[in-house]
A = this chain, B = another copy of it.
Amino acid sequence: MGFMDHVRSCNRHQMEQFIPFRIDGTVVGCMRPAFARELRDWPEVFSVTHGQVDLAVPGTGLEERSSAVARVLRELLQRGVLNHLLGEQYGVTSRERPGCLLLMDRAAAPWFGIRAFGQHLNGYVMLDGECHMWIARRAADRMIFPSKLDHLVAGGLPHGVGLLENLQKECREEAAIDPELAARATPVGTVSYLAESAAGLKPDILYCYDLELPAEFRPHCTDGEVEEFYLWPVSRVLETVRDSQEFKQNCNLVIIDFLIRHGYIPPEHPEYHDLISGLHPALPY
């Protein structure tokens, strides 16, 4: 293992096995041809032609489009093509987060290969001049990544919620960080990757935050997502990321970015620039 392996494993994909998904002529996602063939059964919603899929809902209203697609997703769930829906709406956008063209259940996002946005918070404490990082162990009953190590706070960004508002909500639910303290988090950039899953493609952008916490702070999880919290010296975090797959996959990238920005991965590292460009790829659409 090594830092670069995490970058590579989050960016393993075969773009040529996907066909574009477009709204109003703009590519907003892409999907496997097998999934596109399923969508042929709703020609009033999806136009599947010439190796691409276009949203075919007449009119331009966000609500009209979104409810037409939601109906298809419910029927795909009944057919067993999708195995769950989450009831949380993601905004389908082209490029940056503003400019929503369609709302879609979060669980369907990878099937359509749409951009998903999330927030990850590096919560750290300085003890005798040494940086320590709060780490969460995910609960064993979680549907995704049970028992894996995770950020103190991390979550997806649903449509229509501001970045700070969502961060404050996640901070309260996942670690009992009060809104005032959460508002002191510094936004420090993004990490992006293009991963492939069984469902499809995940072109994700994670907004990253650093929050220095008081020494007496103790996290407390109120939504059942976390089993246990640890306060680790940054050297232990570095070794765990570098030498193992204990962390939920995309957390590794956000932590590597933290380690670089704070000088814990030094510029003498033989893959320094490759790591940095690997953490921030432009996404294909």
Contacts and interface: CB of A to CB of B under 8 A. Distances in A.
A24 interface: no
A66 interface: no
A214 interface: no
Contact of A273 (B162, B192, B276): B192
Contacts of A281: 277, 282
Given A187-B263, A261-B189, A279-B280, A95 B268 contact: no
Contacts of A260: 188-189
Interface string A249-265: 00000000000111100
A266 B205 contact: no
Nearest to A269: B96
Given A277-B280, A277-B282, A278-B282, A188 B270 contact: no
Interface SS of chain A: helix, strand, loop or mixed? mixed
A63 interface: no
Given A96-B271, A271-B96, A190 B282 contact: no
A145 interface: no
A98 to B, nearest CB: 6
Contacts of A282: 274, 277-278, 281
A240 to B, nearest CB: 21
Counted per complex, copies of this chain come to 2
Contacts of A278: 282
Contacts of A187: 263, 266-267
B273 A205 contact: yes
A277 B192 contact: yes
Interface of A: 95-96, 98, 162-163, 186-190, 192, 205, 207, 260-263, 266-268, 270-274, 276-283
Task: Kindly list the 5 A-B residue pairs having the minimum CB-CB distance in the complex, ordered from nearest.
Answer: A277-B282, A280-B280, A186-B263, A187-B267, A187-B263
Given A187-B266, A188-B260, 17 more contacts: A95-B273, A96-B270, A96-B272, A162-B268, A186-B262, A187-B263, A188-B261, A189-B261, A190-B272, A190-B273, A190-B276, A192-B273, A205-B273, A277-B280, A277-B282, A278-B282, A279-B280
